[in-house]
Structure 1
Amino acid sequence: MKKLAIILSIVAFISACGGSGSDKKGTDPYDAKSAGSNGNPSYDPNRGEGKFTKVEVGAALDATLAANGEKVYSVKCSSCHKLTEEKLVGPGWKGVTSRHAAEWIMNFITNTDEMLNKDPKAQAQLEICLVRMPNQNLSDDDARALYEFQRKNDGVK
């Protein structure tokens, strides 16, 4: 009986991991290879999918915002993200502000599901981490503070 249960578990696992066959490259309008040529001129892969189109970022760090962002990180983010390059559940945050535009990061923070569904960079990260980031329901102000904390973590003074 145990052997049958093990075999059924393995078959169920393999079935769940298999694709449906409809994930062909080039058919997804947000696929990295076809982005920009998909007839959706409003999508900007540097900005991502969401309401942030232009984030004003000063050359100097806003210490008050960064402190607020650190509080948000401690409560909402630290269980999955380290401040180093090391992956925990999600990717490490070291260097994130040099890899992605402020708009992309803030859109990802506040519009997680749409970004994971449509953005090629977010999808590539999902393939590495294998876990969808849950929507933390952060306010725009919390997202901006979190971005400033990420800048501080990346060495902006």
Structure 2
Amino acid sequence: MKLLKTIALATLTFALFSCGGDKQTDSIPSGSTEAGATAADESTADAAKSPADYDPNRGLGKHDNVDVSKFDPAMAAAGKKLAEVKCTSCHKTTDEKLVGPGWAGVTKRQTPQWIMNFISDPDPMIDVDPELQKQLELCLVRMPNQGLNDTEAREVLEYMREIDGAK
């Protein structure tokens, strides 16, 4: 039993360190609406993270409307590169669980807004979403905030869409 606890602790420690990317403060592209964000905008975004504001179709966060009407292969390729660095140590592109759940079918189960809000800032959603809390019980590791900016999160979403067959 002691060996089993040691192995579980070692696995958890590895998962926490391998999943946590370095936080980058990349600038938002000049065409983005976030380029002119102010402190007031940030406090408004923080207020939108309260549990009372939780919407299971969009999650918690600033992403209200994500346009996925056209598939962007270049964006998906950039998302794949990001995922290889920040995500695939915990997630497989199949439905198989690694540390976290597999990504296959995620864009069929969740809205683009929900995915963007979750991968941009997972903590507030994990705290209030009953489905995420069930996942946490299964996976035993809380998804770390990878520090993705809006552009990076959108690229990862596009890669997830490609996994699910978007063309």
Same fold (TM over 0.5): yes
Q: Letter of the 2:54 partner, please give it.
A: Y
Aligned equivalents of 1:140, 1:120: Cα separation in 2: 25
Q: Letter of the 1:122 partner, please give it.
A: L
Q: Does 1:132 align with 2:130?
A: no
The match for 2:40 is none
Which has more helix, going by share of residues? 2
Q: Letter of the 2:97 partner, please give it.
A: K
CA apart distance, 1:121: 2.1
Verify the 8 A CA contact 1:49 1:119 in the aligned structure 2.
no
Aligned equivalents of 2:63, 2:131: Cα separation in 1: 17
Aligned equivalents of 2:57, 2:100: Cα separation in 1: 20
Q: Does 1:89 align with 2:99?
A: yes
The match for 2:161 is 151
Written as runs of structure 1 = structure 2, the 5 A alignment for 1:3-152 is 40=52, 42-58=53-69, 60-152=70-162
Q: How big is the alpha-carbon RMSD for the aligned residues of Structure 1 and Structure 2?
A: 1.7
4+ aligned runs moved over 2 Å, structure 1: none
Q: Letter of the 2:123 partner, please give it.
A: D
Give the TM-score taking structure 1 as reference length: 0.72
Aligned equivalents of 1:86, 1:67: Cα separation in 2: 22
Aligned equivalents of 2:120, 2:65: Cα separation in 1: 15
Verify the 8 A CA contact 1:49 1:118 in the aligned structure 2.
no
Aligned equivalents of 2:64, 2:132: Cα separation in 1: 17
State the percentage of identical aligned residues.
55
Aligned equivalents of 1:111, 1:61: Cα separation in 2: 24
Verify the 8 A CA contact 2:54 2:128 in the aligned structure 1.
no
CA apart distance, 1:43: 2.5
CA apart distance, 1:128: 1.6
Q: Runs of 5+ in structure 1 lacking a partner?
A: 1-5, 10-38
Verify the 8 A CA contact 2:82 2:156 in the aligned structure 1.
yes
The match for 1:15 is none
Give the TM-score taking structure 2 as reference length: 0.67
Give the aligned length: 119
